[in-house]
Structure 1
Amino acid sequence: MKQKEDELQFKIGEHVVYPLQGVGVVMDIRTRQIRDRETLNYVIYLDISDMTVTIPVDKACVIGIRGIVGADEAKKAIDSIKDKYEPSTLDWKQRYLANVELVKEGSIGNVAKVVQALFHRSRVKELPVQERKLYENAMRLLIDEASFALDKTTAQIKKMVDENLEK
């Protein structure tokens, strides 16, 4: 059974967000034979990790692949970082798992929450290695998507984020 091309959510050349991986560009849409079934697949190049992934069109939504947010949503996420921070009462392992889930969900707002939480946590006590890596990854994801959404360089977005974290 062959999938129809009218099921496509993204076009070749369109930038998309792959949760936990960052912004990528749809390089191609290919038909692939797997067993007795033909599937339509997005071929997405992820610049930040210099990796190409192939995702079945019918699984893209389930995986969480989505378009880049609009400028208003990106600005709102960056601005939310300066909101009052409420420390978590969870132990580090539970906190880590909760933050991983927020990043996996893929919304820029949730990624900004993780950046805010881990930044403030690092001010109180040095982060465990896993949390530090999660913080760095969440920061990269936030900056990467916001730079596309706001049409600014990653350095400009990093400066905005850092300024908001310090407030």
Structure 2
Amino acid sequence: MATTAKKAAQRQGFKTGEHIVYPAHGVGQITAIEEQNVAGFSLELLVISFEQDKMTLRVPVAKIPSVGMRKLSDAAAVKKALETVRGRPRVKRTMWSRRAQEYEAKINSGDLIAIAEVVRDLYRSESQPEQSYSERQLYEAALDRMSREIAAVNKTSETEAVRQIEQNLAKSESRKAAAAAAAAETDSEDDEDTQEEAA
């Protein structure tokens, strides 16, 4: 199987050196455009590196639309995402397993605003009751995806992006009161789970 690396600058509007969002893995960077011969057919592939995960993906150019790969959000979308985390948390009164699936689907959608909603809904300030292990895992996954994209858009470090998100989370006073009330409701439902996990 012959692979030739191309200096090719652009395919379907994506170019080498550019950061992109791949829904299932978050922010990656296109490091090359390669051509492979598979069973007599020439196949063009984007080589995408995900530095934090130490992973490289080869995506056929023809599959770009179906995998939902997109360019980084613009500054306006980042601003909207940060406004979203300042909003009031919306916690549905459904079973945790159902909510967890919905949160996971939002995280893997690659949509910055949907990811910001997960960060907003699962955030707990220090004065609030502790999250269950699975809630914390989902919160951290969403925060990680959101901060990586904001860092790439603003050309800052991830640490700086996390700080920016957390500052916005802490800004809303109404959020604190609402979150405390929501936590009190959820607390009575999830009390048994938390006790089991703590045991």
Measured against the shorter chain, the TM-score band is: 0.7 to 0.9
- Is contact 1:121–1:127 with CA below 8 Å preserved after alignment? no
Which residue is equivalent to 2:86?
A: 82
Q: What stretches of structure 2 of length at least 5 have no aligned partner?
A: 1-7, 173-199
Give deviations 1:56-85, integer Å, cap 9, x for gaps: 111122112111111111121012101112
| Structure showing greater Rg | 2
Highest RCO, 1 vs 2 (Cα 8 Å, sep ≥ 6): 1
Question: Once superposed, what is the RMSD of the aligned Cα atoms?
Answer: 2.1
Output the TM-score relative to the length of structure 2.
0.74
SS in 2 for 1:48: coil
Give deviations 1:91-145, integer Å, cap 9, x for gaps: 111001111111121111011011111115994552243x322221111110010
SS in 1 for 2:15: coil
Instruction: Name the CA distance, whole Å, in 2 between partners of 1:127 and 1:33.
Output: 49
Q: 2:153 aligns with which of 143, 149, 152?
A: 149
1:49 Cα offset (Å): 0.7
Which residue is equivalent to 2:73?
A: 69
Question: Percent identity at matched positions?
Answer: 25
Which residue is equivalent to 2:131?
A: 126
SS in 2 for 1:114: helix
Which residue is equivalent to 1:41?
A: 45
Is 1:30 the equivalent of 2:28? Answer: no
Structure 1 stretches of at least 4 aligned residues deviating more than 3 Å after TM superposition: 120-125
Output the TM-score relative to the length of structure 1.
0.87
Q: What stretches of structure 1 of length at least 5 have no aligned partner?
A: none
Q: 2:22 aligns with which of 12, 18, 23?
A: 18
